[in-house]
Chain A
């Protein structure tokens, strides 16, 4: 452990050589930056992990059942557990996906669930990401490099090996594959913020990395065409292209990234698409409020994992509370992602806060408000020693026809600034490895 901490620079140098970068758009310009790695891991005890694992699998099962219901029979709406208008006015709800049942009825194959731990040790789910959650590749490659740079750290500590992520992903891709054709990772290309991840996961899972233009739909089947235009049948597309650009025939007609007529092939069951188009309706910041109710409704169980205390201005009672207590709340625009559209009431000057309240009154459906959780700070190495920083955890949950598996690791992101609560990599944060311990022997007493 000590030797790993001392190897901070060495690990970061290797990450740089491997091209582990994160692209961001700032003022309309594309800029790539390194994704700074902190060698002090987040450490999770076996008991704590058992609890998280159970809660995460439960949550993702319910979300999958919700998606199948919303695009199918709509019982949860008929029974008024979730108000209809939340579904149909959601940007993530895609009418073009109505009635489509994907292979094995699974919609969210690769889910990224964001959690935080409060100072009192309680975990809260902050957000579900069921579209194209990125991040698994970073702890994966960081662990691989760390093991090389400091092997003794990993022989001295009994840590669950996280290098099985590609096998888990591959298993899901194979399981969904409808015809024995190729597995492809479909990337928007070199200028996507997570391009490193796309290429790395393609390599590690033995999939083909497909760029826009490489996939073509003919006879209602999807083919990969190589540079010599020989065509190979595709069975699974792990797509990292957003829904709206996925198929110019069904969605944004101006999209140059998409695969024309992909939705027709998908609807006919001739290809699997991971994650399913239309999943945005379930990871909408507004629908989030209802996830614990979904768990009860579909599984007949109490939700194991809690949401952060959340208010929906859509309900009058909540709206009154939010307007009266805006200074103490964090207010989120439900249509934004990646740490954008998140404001802390206490950071706003009087005028801007009043303006925000006005918007909440006029468009209540667009906002949610949450209590600010007092995150547990994690130790982080800076140039001059250890400092404490806010951090979250993105856990990855993979669903296949047989089971719902939580990867025994995860991406821990931390804020670079001492006073910041925003940990998103698009906002300049760094990351840590997440260790899940096999037993207590290696629970560090102190660093």
Chain B
């Protein structure tokens, strides 16, 4: 059992005031069998041009994937929107006993595979090219998942700024470059091609200054965490916030407001073992 302190701090600075701002956050740890949430605190505030921060009321709820969501609305004009989420989480090794919903076998717009990826799976699992899907070796799921994770890690080069939040798995695969979100989408597509239930997960990682994304796959009644960006099976030290079919189901901060303004994002994440 390990204990971690986390702090997520994020602000959006608008170049001119915006109003009628609706927001939906997924920034608090998700209660999981491996993750006991000891204590948490959330502060959402807005600031006028030269005013004091005004705390906003927060509604707590859940989405259909079981993630904790926090929502609210502020009608008044503001130039800065800030979130602080912090707390203490106790963790055992990463594993979630349960069932796999069939939605985690279906492709979404972001995880739709293409022919290239199909061949890549064949090659990875057989070390031979152009092997039809039906004679793929039926090796244990864990072994295949690890092989695909290693292959994705080898195929992709970590490169911020090349892809966007809307880049699909097949686009990122062709580019061979991207960030953790792209690595995760590609691995989900490949696992789906092998009929292994897989989903997108995200949260905060020890030693990372930004939110991190990884993959969960289902094997014999257990969901495990697999991080293709770092090519490893997850154990301790990643504070899980959300999961869903793809990144669109897990956005940490989604907002709609009126006003024409450029946005500057400030983000700071800290995770420490205590």
Chain A, 202-239, contact with B by CB distance < 8 Å: what is the 0/1 string? Answer: 00000000000000111110000000010000000000
The one of B20, B103, B256 that contacts A249, using a Cβ cutoff of 8 Å: B256
Nearest A residue to B66 by beta-carbon distance?
A: A99
Complex interface: chain B residues within 8 A of A248 (CB)? 254, 256
A88 touches B103 (CB 8 A): yes
Distance between A87 CB and nearest chain B CB, rounded to angstroms: 8
* Contact across chains for A216 and B24 when beta carbons are under 8 A apart: no
Residues on A with C-beta less than 8 A from B103 are 88, 95, 98
Shortest beta-carbon distance from B76 to chain A in Å: 11
Which segment, of A56-64, A185-193, A261-269, A299-307, faces chain B?
A: A261-269
The 8 closest A-B pairs by CB, nearest first: A260-B22, A98-B64, A220-B59, A260-B256, A249-B24, A218-B73, A88-B102, A95-B103
Instruction: Report the Cα distance A212→B103, complex, angstroms.
Output: 31
Mask for A29-72, Cβ within 8 A of B = 1, else 0?
Answer: 00000000000000000000000000000000000000000000
Q: How far is the CB of B192 from chain A (nearest CB, A)?
A: 12
- Chain B 77-103 interface residues, beta-carbon cutoff 8 Å to A: 101-103
Contacts A218-B73, A253-B248 hold; do A264 and B24 have CB atoms under 8 A apart? yes
Docked Cα-Cα span, A99 to B66, in Å, equals 9
A277 to chain B, nearest CB (A): 11
Given contacts A248-B256, A249-B254, A253-B254, contact A261 B106 (CB under 8 A): no
The contact size tier of chain A is 20 to 34
Query: How far, in whole Å, are A268 and B75 apart by their CA atoms in the complex?
Result: 22
Residues of B within 8 A of A98 (CB): 64-65, 101, 103
Task: Determine whether the beta carbon of A217 is less than 8 Å from that of B71.
Answer: yes
Give the shortest distance, in Å, between B41 (CB) and chain A (any CB). Answer: 20
Residues of B within 8 A of A219 (CB): 57, 59, 73
Q: Are A95 and B71 in contact (CB under 8 A)?
A: no
A216 touching B22, Cβ below 8 Å:
yes
Residues of B within 8 A of A96 (CB): 63-64, 249
Contacts known (A88-B105, A217-B73); A99 close to B24, Cβ less than 8 A: no
Tell me if B69 is interfacial: C-beta within 8 Å of chain A. yes
Minimum CB–CB distance from A366 to chain B (whole Å) comes to 14
Chain B residues near A260 (CB-CB < 8 A): 22, 24, 73, 256
The interface bits of chain B over 35-64 (1 if a CB of A lies within 8 angstroms of the residue's CB, else 0) are 000000000000000000000010101111
Residues of B within 8 A of A264 (CB): 24, 59, 61, 63, 69, 71
Does any Cβ of B come within 8 Å of A89's Cβ?
Answer: yes
Q: Does B245 contact A (CB under 8 A)?
A: yes
Interface string of B142-182 (1 = CB under 8 A from A): 00000000000000000000000000000000000000000
Which residues of B have CB within 8 Å of A88?
102-103, 105-106
Report the bound CA distance from A217 to B59 in whole Å.
11
Question: Which residues of chain A from 69 to 96 have a CB within 8 Å of any chain B CB?
Answer: 84, 87-89, 95-96
Most chain A beta-carbon neighbours within 10 Å: one of B20, B24, B57:
B24
Cβ-defined partner of A217 (8 Å) among B22, B64, B65, B106: B22
Closest residue to A248 on the B side, CB-wise? B256
Chain A: minimal CB distance from B61 (Å): 5
A97 contacts the other chain (CB 8 A): yes
How distant is the Cα of A75 from the Cα of B206 in the complex, in angstroms?
42
Q: CA separation between A223 and B192, bound complex, in Å?
A: 42
- A-chain residues with CB within 8 Å of residue B102 when the two chains form the complex: 84, 87-88
How far is the CB of A260 from the nearest CB of chain B, in Å? 3
What distance in Å separates the Cβ of B245 from its nearest Cβ neighbour in chain A?
A: 6
**Docked complex Cα distance between A216 and B19 (Å):** 13
Could you tell me the distance in whole angstroms from the C-beta of B35 to the nearest C-beta in chain A? 21
Interface membership of A443, Cβ < 8 A: no
A390 to chain B, nearest CB (A): 38
Interface code B228-259, partner A: CB below 8 Å = 1, 0 otherwise?
00000000000000001100110000101000
A100 within 8 A of B: yes
- 29 interchain pairs, CB-CB under 8 A: A88-B102, A88-B103, A88-B105, A88-B106, A89-B106, A95-B245, A96-B64, A98-B64, A98-B101, A100-B64, A216-B20, A216-B22, A216-B75, A218-B72, A218-B73, A219-B59, A248-B254, A249-B22, A249-B24, A249-B71, A249-B254, A250-B63, A253-B248, A261-B22, A261-B24, A261-B71, A264-B61, A267-B61, A267-B62
**CB within 8 Å of B: which A110-169 residues:** none
For B258, give the chain A residue with the smallest CB separation.
Answer: A213
C-alpha gap A120/B105 in the complex (Å): 46
- The residue in chain A whose Cβ has the minimal distance to the Cβ of B256 is A260
Closest Cβ–Cβ distance, residue A248 to chain B (whole Å): 6
- Identify which of residues 257-295 in chain A touch chain B, using a CB-to-CB cut-off of 8 Å: 260-261, 263-264, 267-268
The CA-CA distance from A360 to B249 in the complex, in Å, is 32
How far, in angstroms, from A248 to B102 measured CA to CA in the complex?
A: 24
